[in-house]
A and B are shown apart, each in its own frame.
Chain A
Amino acid sequence: MGLEEKLPSGFVLTTVEQAAGWVRKSSVFPATFGLACCAIEMMTTGAGRYDLARFGMEVFRGSPRQADLMIVAGRVSQKMAPVLRQVYDQMPNPKWVISMGVCASSGGMFNNYAIVQGVDHIVPVDIYLPGCPPRPEMLMDAILKLHQKIQGSKLGVNAEEAAREAEEAALNALPLIEMKGLMR
């Protein structure tokens, strides 16, 4: 990473953060990581009717070196898992991951020997997108939510602060099994 990580906290850093976030979110290059059914819906999203080009994202890169978003579209098998991690490692920072569909998010209906029960066992996931497969509109919604996240991402000392806070919140969070009310 460059100079922006070394900026002192304060007015300059937050301004650079906003500028960098805006630039980054406006032109996200997804890597083609189509695996199964969801890949077809991902292609549909890029095609005429849904037209992902409206969000500056129609250029799916064949090489992970040129991509900063990995849309894991489909079920990840045990055999594919090392490949997936390798492709992720080849992507330059900053990078994001959308786990598209239930199979990628949690294994879905394929709770068996062959499928990794959630791609978050292998790579950190930013957005979980449910559906089997999710409609193109849902994928676009996930992408817009990711854009918001990218826009609001922190840099330098602020990023360290944010990571610390997130860690704290995760440690204090109730396990799902103890949640009450609507979250149950």
Chain B
Amino acid sequence: MTTPHATPRATTEGTVYTVTGGDWDEIVENAAASDDERIIVNMGPQHPSTHGVLRLILEIDGETVTEARCGIGYLHTGIEKNLEFRSWTQGTTFVTRMDYLTPFFNETAYCLGVEKLLGIEDQIPDRATVLRVLLMELNRLSSHLVCIATGGMELGATTIMIYGFRDRELVLDLFELITGLRMNHAFVRPGGLAQDLPPGAVDQLREFVKTMKKNLPEYDALATGNPIFKARMQDVGYLDLTGCMALGATGPILRSAGLPHDLRKTDPYCGYETYDFEVPTADSCDAYGRFLIRLEEMRQSLRIIEQCIDRLEPGPVMVADKKIAWPAQLALGPDGLGNSLDHIKKIMGTSMEALIHHFKLVTEGFRVPVGQAYTAVESPKGELGVHVVSDGGTRPYRVHFRDPSFTNLQAMAAMCEGGQVADVIVAVASIDPVMGGVDR
């Protein structure tokens, strides 16, 4: 057989190749013979079932995913850099917007870090700590509800989405009552909380627990035993313990592999060791196991919330040290959260020292001794770690968030490769990545 291409011909300047062309039929034949149905599919960064601006690059062979890669960074906000130009207290305003479904975890982790640097962990009032736990557990409920709701929607189960958002609204009502905002609260501050519970909050909290106890079984009735739901979720997104440990996956993913690792138990903070609750696990290593774990964690969160309500003793919610405590006695006014009128009367009318102090602390902020600290909390997605570095100034020198979504999302390839295209959606939904946390 002769080659269809002409031979190269040498000239004085070099080799010249001439293309005389081949036969298209030959190319088509070759392509058919290689049985190559591989195509690259780009999902996102704007796709309805990728949890925000996640880009999935899938190499598929027929219906089978042979290779899966993530493209992230489409929501990179530079929050860590922005923090370096604001005071330590203003930092909470930024970190709350990182993983926007778990604002209280971001704030608490950050504030625990700052408090560790300041060396005032022991001086945080009990009431503030109990309220932090209360808010975090409420937040765990709302985050898991969104996970289950959007996860259900991505499976095509729109009903579950309506249910999830219905119950999330109840949590947001409480957040709004307590902090004045539905999302992005900046309520937990270094040294304590921005303000105390408003009147009537405890009654509403009790009412909420009662309602949720009635509502949670509905998810069981709707999804847990549902054969279609199970068929879509079981044995999908498989990641065993070895994979979890190698990839650093924490949270429900790790617990679905059977390891009861929960920082609330293994490395307690905020007095979690004194609360009575259990860490649910599963041994199925799949998306369905993670769903069951999330459901059970919501029940456990309700237990903790009940204990928190019982433990609430009257007292301050901010550390007594006036060099750190936010001076403004904040109060909810008709135009939102602001300085209380009494406080303004005092600093403007009677005490110039108080005015100077207020001014210095609010504009300049407090100084934090040189050093670094790492604090971690168990967010609904896993270990949320904060590495804070101070150079002794009034601004953070460097704050780094080890966001669980970011780390867990690495496991996407391990979960999806070899599976079906439709299962990619389920696997990603079971990781529950929030791009605000992944990209920060």
A residues with CB within 8 A of B: 32-37, 39-41, 43-44, 47-49, 60, 62, 74-75, 77, 79-80, 83-84, 87, 109-115, 132-133, 135
Contact = CB atoms under 8 A, between A and B. Distances in A.
24 contacts: A32-B48, A36-B77, A36-B100, A36-B435, A36-B436, A37-B97, A37-B183, A40-B101, A44-B165, A44-B169, A47-B149, A47-B161, A48-B165, A75-B75, A77-B75, A77-B76, A80-B45, A80-B74, A80-B75, A83-B74, A109-B93, A109-B97, A110-B82, A135-B182
A37 B182 CA distance: 11
B374 interface: no
Interface of B: 45-48, 52-53, 73-79, 81-82, 93-94, 97, 100-101, 146, 149-150, 161-162, 165-166, 168-169, 182-184, 435-436, 439
A111 B77 CA distance: 9
Contacts of A132: 184
Contacts of B77: 36, 75, 77, 110, 112, 114-115
A113 B169 contact: no
Contact of B53 (A43, A60, A80): A80
A63 to B, nearest CB: 9
Given A40-B183, A109-B93, A112-B82, A35 B166 contact: no
Nearest to A74: B75
Contacts, number: 94
B83 to A, nearest CB: 10
A47 B76 CA distance: 28
Contacts of B165: 43-44, 47-49
Contacts of A41: 182-183
Given A48-B162, A74-B75, A112-B82, 13 more contacts: A36-B52, A36-B97, A37-B184, A37-B436, A44-B165, A49-B166, A77-B75, A80-B53, A84-B46, A110-B79, A115-B77, A115-B78, A135-B182
A109 B96 CA distance: 12
A110 B182 contact: no
Contacts of A84: 46
A143 to B, nearest CB: 18
Nearest to A33: B46
A36 B82 CA distance: 17
A39 B435 CA distance: 11
Contacts of A133: 182-184
Given A40-B146, A47-B165, A49-B166, A114 B52 contact: no
Pick the 10 closest A-B CB pairs, nearest first: A47-B165, A114-B78, A37-B100, A62-B48, A112-B78, A80-B74, A48-B166, A48-B162, A32-B48, A114-B76
B436 A47 contact: no
Nearest to B173: A49
Contacts of B168: 44
Given A49-B166, A87-B46, A109-B93, A34 B78 contact: no
Contacts of B169: 44, 48-49
